Amino acid sequence: MHVIRDASVADAKRLLEIYDYYVRKTAITFEYETPSIEEFTARMEKIMKRYPYLVAERDGQIVGYSYAGVFKDRAAYDWSCETTIYIDHNERKSGLGRLLYEALEEKLKAIGIMNLYACIGYPIEEDEYLTKNSAEFHAHLGYTKVGEFHKCGYKYGRWYDMIWMEKIVGEHRTPKKIGRFHL
Protein backbone atom coordinates (compact mmCIF):
# COMPACT_ATOMS: atom_id res chain seq x y z
CA MET A 1 0.00 0.00 0.00
CA HIS A 2 1.25 3.47 -0.88
CA VAL A 3 1.21 6.48 1.42
CA ILE A 4 1.10 9.94 -0.17
CA ARG A 5 2.48 12.77 1.96
CA ASP A 6 3.95 16.24 1.65
CA ALA A 7 7.62 16.24 0.75
CA SER A 8 10.29 17.84 2.90
CA VAL A 9 13.84 18.87 2.05
CA ALA A 10 14.95 15.84 4.08
CA ASP A 11 13.59 13.77 1.16
CA ALA A 12 15.84 15.49 -1.40
CA LYS A 13 18.53 12.80 -1.50
CA ARG A 14 16.06 10.03 -2.35
CA LEU A 15 14.13 12.19 -4.84
CA LEU A 16 17.39 13.06 -6.56
CA GLU A 17 18.22 9.34 -6.80
CA ILE A 18 14.91 8.78 -8.61
CA TYR A 19 15.46 11.78 -10.88
CA ASP A 20 19.05 10.80 -11.66
CA TYR A 21 17.89 7.72 -13.57
CA TYR A 22 15.76 9.87 -15.88
CA VAL A 23 18.57 12.35 -16.49
CA ARG A 24 21.17 9.68 -17.28
CA LYS A 25 19.07 7.03 -19.05
CA THR A 26 16.17 8.84 -20.76
CA ALA A 27 15.11 11.88 -22.73
CA ILE A 28 12.10 12.32 -20.44
CA THR A 29 13.98 15.25 -18.95
CA PHE A 30 16.06 17.38 -21.27
CA GLU A 31 18.68 17.98 -18.56
CA TYR A 32 22.06 16.59 -19.54
CA GLU A 33 23.55 16.38 -16.05
CA THR A 34 21.99 15.47 -12.73
CA PRO A 35 21.88 18.53 -10.48
CA SER A 36 23.86 18.57 -7.26
CA ILE A 37 22.01 17.85 -4.04
CA GLU A 38 22.33 21.55 -3.18
CA GLU A 39 20.76 22.63 -6.48
CA PHE A 40 18.00 20.03 -6.21
CA THR A 41 17.22 21.05 -2.61
CA ALA A 42 17.10 24.72 -3.64
CA ARG A 43 14.63 23.84 -6.42
CA MET A 44 12.45 21.98 -3.93
CA GLU A 45 12.49 24.87 -1.44
CA LYS A 46 11.51 27.37 -4.13
CA ILE A 47 8.61 25.21 -5.33
CA MET A 48 7.35 24.40 -1.82
CA LYS A 49 6.98 28.10 -0.99
CA ARG A 50 4.03 28.29 -3.35
CA TYR A 51 2.92 24.85 -4.57
CA PRO A 52 2.36 21.33 -3.29
CA TYR A 53 5.23 18.87 -3.51
CA LEU A 54 4.26 15.26 -2.74
CA VAL A 55 6.05 11.96 -2.25
CA ALA A 56 4.73 8.42 -2.37
CA GLU A 57 6.07 5.82 0.01
CA ARG A 58 5.73 2.07 0.06
CA ASP A 59 6.95 0.29 3.19
CA GLY A 60 8.64 3.50 4.35
CA GLN A 61 10.65 3.90 1.11
CA ILE A 62 10.01 6.82 -1.24
CA VAL A 63 9.09 5.40 -4.65
CA GLY A 64 7.88 8.50 -6.49
CA TYR A 65 7.13 12.19 -6.31
CA SER A 66 5.07 14.88 -7.97
CA TYR A 67 4.86 18.62 -7.70
CA ALA A 68 3.45 21.73 -9.30
CA GLY A 69 5.36 24.74 -10.47
CA VAL A 70 4.96 28.06 -12.17
CA PHE A 71 3.36 27.85 -15.60
CA LYS A 72 4.35 31.41 -16.54
CA ASP A 73 5.65 33.89 -14.00
CA ARG A 74 3.06 36.61 -14.51
CA ALA A 75 0.14 37.37 -12.16
CA ALA A 76 -2.50 36.69 -14.81
CA TYR A 77 -1.38 33.03 -14.91
CA ASP A 78 -1.80 32.48 -11.16
CA TRP A 79 -4.69 30.07 -11.72
CA SER A 80 -2.55 27.77 -13.84
CA CYS A 81 0.49 25.63 -13.07
CA GLU A 82 2.81 23.05 -14.55
CA THR A 83 2.71 19.53 -13.11
CA THR A 84 5.63 17.12 -12.87
CA ILE A 85 5.93 13.51 -11.80
CA TYR A 86 8.78 11.03 -11.44
CA ILE A 87 8.36 7.42 -10.37
CA ASP A 88 11.19 5.07 -9.41
CA HIS A 89 11.88 3.28 -12.69
CA ASN A 90 11.26 -0.08 -11.00
CA GLU A 91 7.77 1.03 -9.88
CA ARG A 92 6.32 2.24 -13.18
CA LYS A 93 2.96 0.93 -14.38
CA SER A 94 1.88 0.14 -10.81
CA GLY A 95 -0.89 2.75 -10.48
CA LEU A 96 1.37 4.93 -8.36
CA GLY A 97 1.44 7.75 -10.90
CA ARG A 98 -2.33 8.03 -10.83
CA LEU A 99 -2.36 8.14 -7.01
CA LEU A 100 0.26 10.89 -6.91
CA TYR A 101 -1.37 13.00 -9.62
CA GLU A 102 -4.85 12.67 -8.10
CA ALA A 103 -3.51 13.80 -4.71
CA LEU A 104 -1.63 16.68 -6.37
CA GLU A 105 -4.73 17.73 -8.30
CA GLU A 106 -6.83 17.86 -5.13
CA LYS A 107 -4.27 20.06 -3.38
CA LEU A 108 -4.06 22.35 -6.40
CA LYS A 109 -7.84 22.73 -6.63
CA ALA A 110 -7.89 23.60 -2.92
CA ILE A 111 -5.61 26.60 -3.54
CA GLY A 112 -7.57 27.83 -6.55
CA ILE A 113 -5.63 26.33 -9.45
CA MET A 114 -7.91 25.63 -12.42
CA ASN A 115 -5.60 24.75 -15.31
CA LEU A 116 -2.92 22.07 -15.14
CA TYR A 117 -0.20 21.87 -17.78
CA ALA A 118 2.36 19.17 -18.49
CA CYS A 119 5.45 19.77 -20.62
CA ILE A 120 6.39 16.40 -22.13
CA GLY A 121 9.35 15.25 -24.21
CA TYR A 122 7.87 13.56 -27.25
CA PRO A 123 9.69 11.30 -29.69
CA ILE A 124 9.67 11.88 -33.41
CA GLU A 125 10.23 8.12 -33.48
CA GLU A 126 10.11 6.11 -30.28
CA ASP A 127 13.54 4.86 -29.20
CA GLU A 128 15.33 3.45 -26.16
CA TYR A 129 15.43 6.89 -24.53
CA LEU A 130 11.91 8.20 -25.09
CA THR A 131 8.52 6.68 -25.83
CA LYS A 132 5.01 8.13 -25.90
CA ASN A 133 4.25 6.64 -22.45
CA SER A 134 4.20 9.99 -20.66
CA ALA A 135 1.77 11.53 -23.15
CA GLU A 136 -0.41 8.41 -22.94
CA PHE A 137 -0.31 8.51 -19.12
CA HIS A 138 -1.43 12.15 -19.09
CA ALA A 139 -4.15 11.50 -21.67
CA HIS A 140 -5.42 8.62 -19.53
CA LEU A 141 -5.76 11.11 -16.64
CA GLY A 142 -7.78 13.59 -18.71
CA TYR A 143 -5.08 15.83 -20.18
CA THR A 144 -5.38 16.85 -23.83
CA LYS A 145 -2.62 17.92 -26.18
CA VAL A 146 -2.69 21.68 -26.76
CA GLY A 147 0.66 22.34 -28.39
CA GLU A 148 3.68 20.80 -30.06
CA PHE A 149 7.17 22.15 -30.56
CA HIS A 150 9.23 20.43 -33.22
CA LYS A 151 12.82 19.27 -32.76
CA CYS A 152 13.35 21.61 -29.83
CA GLY A 153 15.25 19.21 -27.58
CA TYR A 154 18.53 17.54 -28.44
CA LYS A 155 19.82 14.66 -26.33
CA TYR A 156 21.68 11.43 -27.07
CA GLY A 157 22.56 12.58 -30.57
CA ARG A 158 18.98 12.99 -31.75
CA TRP A 159 16.21 15.58 -31.85
CA TYR A 160 13.00 15.32 -29.86
CA ASP A 161 9.76 17.21 -29.97
CA MET A 162 8.04 18.61 -26.91
CA ILE A 163 4.31 18.75 -26.35
CA TRP A 164 2.14 20.61 -23.88
CA MET A 165 -0.91 18.91 -22.43
CA GLU A 166 -3.68 20.61 -20.44
CA LYS A 167 -6.32 19.57 -17.94
CA ILE A 168 -9.01 21.93 -16.70
CA VAL A 169 -9.88 21.10 -13.08
CA GLY A 170 -11.83 24.14 -11.91
CA GLU A 171 -14.65 26.44 -12.84
CA HIS A 172 -13.46 29.69 -14.37
CA ARG A 173 -15.35 32.50 -12.70
CA THR A 174 -14.47 36.11 -12.06
CA PRO A 175 -12.10 36.35 -9.09
CA LYS A 176 -13.31 38.27 -6.04
CA LYS A 177 -9.83 39.66 -5.59
CA ILE A 178 -7.00 39.82 -8.08
CA GLY A 179 -3.80 38.28 -6.80
CA ARG A 180 -2.29 35.00 -5.83
CA PHE A 181 -5.02 32.37 -5.50
CA HIS A 182 -7.90 34.52 -4.28
CA LEU A 183 -11.26 33.39 -5.68
Residue 174 lies in a domain: no
- Cβ atoms 104, 135 nearer than 8 A: no
The pLDDT tens digits for 73-104 are 998 899 999 999 999 999 877 789 999 999 99
Residue 179 lies in a domain: no
Pairing mode, strands 115-122 and 80-87:
parallel
* Band of pLDDT at residue 178, cut at 50, 70 and 90: low
Q: What is the mean pLDDT of the chain?
A: 94
Residue among 84, 82, 77, 73 nearest 29 (CA): 84
- Residue 120 confidence (pLDDT): 98
- Residue 101 confidence (pLDDT): 96
* Band of pLDDT at residue 181, cut at 50, 70 and 90: low
- Residue 23 confidence (pLDDT): 98
Tell me how many domains the chain contains. Answer: 1
Residue 181 lies in a domain: no
Residue 173 lies in a domain: no
- Residue 135 confidence (pLDDT): 97
* Band of pLDDT at residue 58, cut at 50, 70 and 90: very high
- Residue 170 confidence (pLDDT): 87
Residue 182 lies in a domain: no
Residue 180 lies in a domain: no
CATH code of the domain containing 112 = 3.40.630.30
- The range of the structural domain enclosing residue 116 comes to 2-168
- Residue 177 confidence (pLDDT): 64
Residue 177 lies in a domain: no
Residue 183 lies in a domain: no
Q: Is the pLDDT of residue 1 over 80?
A: no
Residue among 136, 143, 74, 73 nearest 104 (CA): 143
By CB atoms closer than 10 A (0-12, 13-18, 19+), residue 119 is middle
Q: Is the pLDDT of residue 131 over 90?
A: yes
- Residue 143 confidence (pLDDT): 98
Q: Quick one: angle between helices 12-25 and 37-48, nearest 10? A: 110
